Amino acid sequence: MRDRWRRNGSKDIRERAIEKVRKIFREHHPDFEGYVPLEIVIRRTVEIMEYIERRRKEEGIEKIGYEVGAEKTAGGLTHFRAFEGFLKNLIQELNNRNLPKPDFIVGQTGTLIKIQKNVGGFDSDTAKKLVSVTQKYKVDFKKHNADFLDDDVLKLHPDLGITAANTGPEFSTVEIKAYLKLGDMEGEAIKQDRLKSPSNFIPVLEKKVLESGRWWQGMHLV
């Protein structure tokens, strides 16, 4: 989707949408400490989608898909009654404003990531209940924390009706290990006089990662 924004000469729309999210958040909860009532989550979600849809049409950008959720990614289970109440009321508000339904709604099925491991436990019964809710409202279900799951668990997903899963840390782990291995290979090449001078790309990567501040987003995995 990022390339699509750029092709239309509207790369700043994403930044404006992000700032809109921050503005709404600050207005409603200047002293936010954790829990946000679902009615506020619904109102905020609708406001954000309404803003993005307006900007999208003004810029002549093709339709985009939305993913929504009403909880943190820190493990546990989503209660299906609260889940259905959220989805039902959200879709009603979206219909009232002639806005599209989300493509996905995300829920917790018991999985939880810590460092390089999934320490939670996948609950297939909860997954079935949540999927039945999304199918009722013709929205696809996406699960949180699918990294580092056994293949036997992942194979259950299609049969349960789980259409998508959030991942990230597992792929990042493989990528980081590959970079470190390349760094070691470069060091060995220099020792063996097959390479005259080091690229120092590992220190450069470390510096850029720290400067970006994005590493902080993964601290909840520790």
Q: For the chain, which residues make up each domain, given as ranges?
A: 1-64, 74-95+106-167, 168-222
pLDDT at 162 over 50: yes
Mean pLDDT in the chain?
Answer: 85
Which whole number is the average pLDDT over 9-33? 59
- The whole model's pTM is what? 0.76
Mean pLDDT is lowest, of 43-52, 67-76, 114-123, for 67-76
pLDDT band at 212 (very low <50, low <70, confident <90, very high): confident
Distances (CA, A) of 49 to 11, 129, 147, 205: 17, 27, 28, 35
